[in-house]
């Protein structure tokens, strides 16, 4: 799974339950699960800039349980990568519990993806279709709770909202009764993509449960994060695209500082990050600080050495 898995297990053993962060009353700043992007190297970067809690990309639980190759490619961690939540796509209670058992020594908890709106995921019975099946969500959470011995191990869910809010409130209350640690709410319906986030709906959901609620959707700065937390009375904020554009966002930077760019270079080289991932992250980070011509030049680069030369020529320190 990782060459430093023993160290990671020790790290987890020394770490507090993530629930204690929510109980502090402070804004809990969270890096969202992002396919291809929220892997170990990027989690390492955002943790340097005040990110409190990181999620892995979504992992299909069935593949993870059945294939050692899938485990080795999908889940990598190390001693500093904590607290860490492993997000699974699942539709079978036993397979989810088996996957949770595997990652328990190396992570602080798991999250069940009940919010992915992509057609392939919903066609397979994963993601946002689960918001219409609260009984299955209940069974999966219960099975994990029954099988994982570590009582501090968190089990959370990430959802989208229904067209009719009472259905979402009912889902959240049932999840709370089942023993979910917290709920992350992306404030859009399955059909909505770029429409405004329904922060008012998230606020109502928070008022109807006693467990922590995390708000997700269109947060692009620390100031926005604090405003949305106050507006919704939630316990934490989860950010995806905002952190891709500015991994130093939670440290209060309005745009990616040069130090953060060079930190990413150092971390990527240390972790052996594949070129495509290394390059794409830099494209996102430099979006706001480069001209159209510079973007065309940088985006056309095709090797790590070419990227390093470009950065040294334009942003050398």
**Cβ count within 10 A of residue 6:** 12
Instruction: Give me the catalytic one of 31, 51, 54, 116.
Output: 116
97 SS3 class: helix
SS (H, E, C) 84-118: EEEEEECCCHHHHHHHHHHHHHHCCEEEEEECCCC
98 token code pair:
């088996």
Q: Classify the phi-psi angles of 250: left when phi > 0, otherwise alpha if psi is within -120 to 50, otherwise beta.
A: alpha
Burial bucket for residue 316 (CB in 10 Å: 0-12, 13-18, 19+): exposed
Is residue 172 part of the annotated active site? The answer reads no
Please list the helix, strand and coil fractions of the chain in percent, rounded to the nearest 5, in that order: 50, 15, 35
Cβ-contact 189, 160 below 8 angstroms: yes
| Residues involved in catalysis | 116
């Amino acid at each position: 799974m990782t060459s430093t898995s023993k160290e990671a297990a020790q790290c987890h053993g020394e770490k507090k339950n993530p629930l204690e962060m929510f109980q502090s009353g402070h804004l809990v700043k969270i890096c969202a699960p992002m396919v291809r992007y929220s892997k170990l190297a990027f989690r390492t970067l955002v943790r340097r800039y005040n990110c409190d809690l990181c999620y892995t990309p979504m992992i299909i639980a069935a593949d993870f349980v059945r294939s050692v190759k899938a485990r080795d490619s999908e889940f990598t961690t190390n001693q500093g990568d904590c607290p860490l939540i492993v997000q699974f796509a699942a539709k079978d209670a036993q397979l989810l519990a088996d996957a949770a058992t595997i990652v328990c020594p190396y992570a602080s908890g798991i999250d069940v993806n009940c919010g992915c709106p992509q057609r392939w995921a919903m066609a397979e019975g994963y993601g946002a279709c689960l918001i219409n099946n609260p009984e299955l969500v209940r069974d999966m959470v219960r099975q994990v709770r029954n099988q994982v011995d570590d009582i501090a191990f968190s089990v959370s869910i990430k959802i989208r909202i229904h067209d009719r809010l009472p259905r979402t409130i009912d889902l959240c209350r049932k999840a709370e009764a089942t023993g979910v640690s917290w709920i992350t709410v992306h404030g859009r319906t399955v059909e909505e993509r770029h429409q405004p986030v329904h922060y008012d709906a998230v606020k109502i959901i928070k008022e109807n449960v006693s467990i922590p609620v995390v708000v997700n959707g269109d947060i692009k700065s620390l100031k926005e994060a604090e405003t949305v937390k106050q507006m919704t009375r939630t316990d934490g904020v989860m950010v995806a695209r905002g952190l891709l554009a500015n991994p130093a966002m939670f440290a209060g930077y309005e745009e990616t500082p040069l130090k953060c760019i060079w930190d990413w270079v150092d971390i990527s080289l240390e972790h052996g990050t594949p070129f495509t991932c290394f390059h794409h992250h830099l494209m996102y980070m430099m979006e706001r600080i480069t001209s159209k011509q510079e973007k065309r030049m940088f985006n056309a680069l095709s090797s790590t050495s070419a990227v390093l030369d470009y950065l040294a020529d334009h942003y050398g320190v």
